[in-house]
């Protein structure tokens, strides 16, 4: 099924349009997802968070969300069905893919801490040294909270690479498999203080 894609911007209008189109796409989704992740047929986004719930989420995380992340969670809050992915040994795992509040709060915290531990840093050190904190958007794709343009990195332990220029580009690629041919990475070698830089 071909889906007409909205232009990826981090605005409420984009996220609303994307939500409608991806919900429609999942009604006909083929039995194969990008990089082995499979969204179940009929999957839909959960309703977005209220202002009160969003403030509660920010309080639980200990920082104010940047505008792209606020717009995202006000529009949709994870998926109503857990998808699957298969590891190298053929074992099938179940995961929501996108993180939902409050259901995945502990997983979000543990995932962030795993990356910090693997890279020998703490949140306090990041703030003190002017290095961006991180927030998981989808699987191991992390939004940079404190970078002005809020790009997204792929982070697995201490294996870190630049992934996409924005949250909107990340979710298009994650759900509909729209990749670099659409210019989602401005530059593979984009430098980000500490996380992605020439050593």
Helices (H), 30-150: 51-61, 67-75, 105-118, 123-128
For residue 197, is it within any domain?
Answer: no
Q: What is the CATH number of the domain that holds 163?
A: 3.40.1580.10
Residue with tokens 């996380």: 195
What pLDDT is recorded for position 26? Answer: 85
Task: Please state whether beta strands 152-156 and 141-144 pair in parallel, antiparallel, or not at all (unpaired).
Answer: antiparallel
The domain containing residue 58 runs over which residues? 12-182
Please state, for a pLDDT cut of 90, what percent of the chain lies above it: 64
Q: What is the pLDDT of residues 155-177, one digit of tens each?
A: 999 999 999 999 999 998 888 76
pLDDT recorded at residue 34: 44
Lowest mean pLDDT among 25-29, 104-108, 193-197: 25-29
Tell me the per-residue pLDDT of 49-88, one tens digit each, with 9 for 90 and over.
Answer: 999 999 999 999 999 999 999 999 999 999 998 766 666 6
Q: pLDDT tens digits, residue range 126-141? A: 999 999 999 999 989 9
Q: Does residue 198 lie within any of the structural domains?
A: no
Instruction: Judge residue 91's burial from the number of C-beta atoms within 10 Å of its C-beta, 0-12 exposed, 13-18 middle, 19 or more buried.
Output: exposed
Q: What is residue 190's predicted lDDT score, i.e. its pLDDT?
A: 74
Indicate whether 188 belongs to any domain: no
Q: Is 21 part of any domain?
A: yes
Overall number of domains in the chain: 1
The single residue listed with the structure tokens 């994307």 is 18
Whether residue 187 is contained in a domain is answered as no
Q: With a threshold of 0.85, does the pTM exceed it? A: yes
Is residue 175 situated within a structural domain? yes
């Amino acid at each position: 099924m071909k889906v007409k894609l909205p232009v990826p911007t981090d605005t409420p209008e984009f996220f609303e349009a994307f939500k409608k189109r991806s919900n429609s796409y999942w009604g006909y989704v083929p039995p194969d997802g990008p990089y082995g992740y499979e969204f179940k047929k009929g999957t839909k986004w959960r309703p977005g968070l209220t202002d009160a719930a969003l403030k509660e989420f920010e309080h639980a995380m200990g920082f104010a969300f940047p505008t792209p992340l606020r717009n995202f969670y006000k529009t949709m809050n994870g998926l109503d069905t857990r998808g699957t992915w298969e590891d190298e040994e053929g074992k099938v795992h179940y995961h929501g893919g996108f993180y939902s509040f409050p259901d995945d709060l502990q997983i979000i915290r543990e995932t962030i801490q795993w990356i910090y531990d693997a890279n020998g840093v703490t949140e306090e050190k990041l703030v003190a040294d002017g290095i961006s904190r991180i927030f998981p958007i989808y699987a191991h794709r992390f939004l940079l909270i404190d970078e002005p343009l809020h790009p997204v990195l792929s982070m697995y332990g201490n294996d870190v690479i630049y992934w996409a220029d924005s949250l909107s580009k990340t979710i298009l690629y994650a759900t509909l498999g729209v990749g670099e041919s659409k210019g989602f990475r401005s530059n593979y070698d984009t430098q980000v203080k500490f996380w992605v830089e020439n050593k």
